[in-house]
Amino acid sequence: MIVLGIETSCDETSAALLVDGKAVSNVISSQLIHSSYGGVVPELASRAHLRLIIQVVEEALAGGGMKKGQIDGIAATRGPGLVGALLVGLSFGKALAFGLGIPFTAVNHMEGHLYSVFLEEEVPAYPFLALVVSGGHTMLVHVEAPFRQTVLGETRDDAAGEAFDKVAKMLGLGYPGGPAIDRLAREGDPAAIRFPRAFLEEGTLDFSFSGIKTSVLYYLRREGLGESGAARTLLDGKQMADICASFQAAIVDVLVAKATGAALRLGVTDIALVGGVSANSSLRRTLRDEAGKCGCRVFTPRSEYCMDNGAMIAYVGWMRLVRGLTSVYETPAAAYLELSGIAS
């Protein structure tokens, strides 16, 4: 089965082709315009998707050596995300499926991240634990079988990716902030500054990252470095690297401790690390090290499958379509969409 996947939930316009569950193309166009605003501007994102969607889909078809008439089904993200952005890809996918007379299925963006690890050759065995860490979401999910998943814990405030972006803005590192902090942290001392680790009440697998963001802000104020980017002109390279390394360590420590603790509690031996923040080098290395001590294996997708991408949407779409799960054309875009335990 040949499936076209379309992803426009935020600031990446992406389309991909899958043949029997294997990606043969994956085109991602990132919107650089948002960097000057320090974050995604929804209206600008929607307009950019409108300009790019046809070109991106055509490039995905050409990259896979396919014509539109060869597609067997189309999958598009319906949520969660920015409603205006979602509507572009969702509407385009519905219209193309209708015009070609082929099945259409709407995909939960978080399921895309959850199963993105299966785009690789080496994959986890069911049941497994997934640590989903993206710009807007941080959660631990127990995946018992395809589309049989249970959310064990999630963020109560800022997601890890949000904390990275907001701290990067304070430091004047631009948007997106995660890659910049990761790069600078490699030259810094993670023990230079003791930022707090929010583990919350005993036994919970929920997360909270608003406190670490505030702690960095107060640290900058105490050091007379100001905020809103002023620190970049006042800090020398070593100071900046130490702040980045110490902040990153505080985030990674909590993520890794919760994930390995949950794996031991569940008795699973495979952990999938997915989502945009899963590309973070310290998170990958630390989780592998600590999971290895527990006898667990860690699986991560390559970087292009960590970020928002059409291939992960096409994969979940393929999983749905081979099971006969299609969506009606009235299916709406949803800014907020829970990760349910059944295919819906």
- Phi/psi for 91 (5° steps) reads -65, -40
Kindly give, in sequence order, each residue whose CB lies less than 8 Å from that of residue 246, ignoring residues fewer than 6 positions away: 188, 189, 190, 191, 192, 193, 194, 195
Torsion angle, alpha carbons of 215, 153, 308, 242, to 10: 30
Q: Domain 125-300, CATH 3.30.420.40 — does that match?
A: yes
What are the tens digits of pLDDT across the range 244-274? Answer: 999 999 999 999 999 999 999 999 999 999 9
Residue 344 has pLDDT above 60, yes or no: no
Q: For domain 2-114+305-321, give the fold.
A: Nucleotidyltransferase; domain 5 (3.30.420)
Query: Which H/E stretch holds residue 260?
Result: helix 237-266
- Phi/psi for 109 (5° steps) reads -55, -40
**Would 2-114+305-321 and 125-300 be classified into the same CATH topology?**
yes
Work out whether the CA dihedral 251, 252, 253, 256 comes out positive or negative. positive
What are the tens digits of pLDDT across the range 115-150? Answer: 999 999 999 999 999 999 988 899 999 999 999 999
> Domain coordinates of the chain in residue numbers?
2-114+305-321, 125-300
- The pair of structure tokens assigned to 189 is 């001392």
The C-alpha atoms of residue 123 and residue 115 are separated, in whole angstroms, by 10
What are the tens digits of pLDDT across the range 65-120? Answer: 999 999 999 999 999 999 999 999 999 999 999 999 999 999 999 999 999 999 99
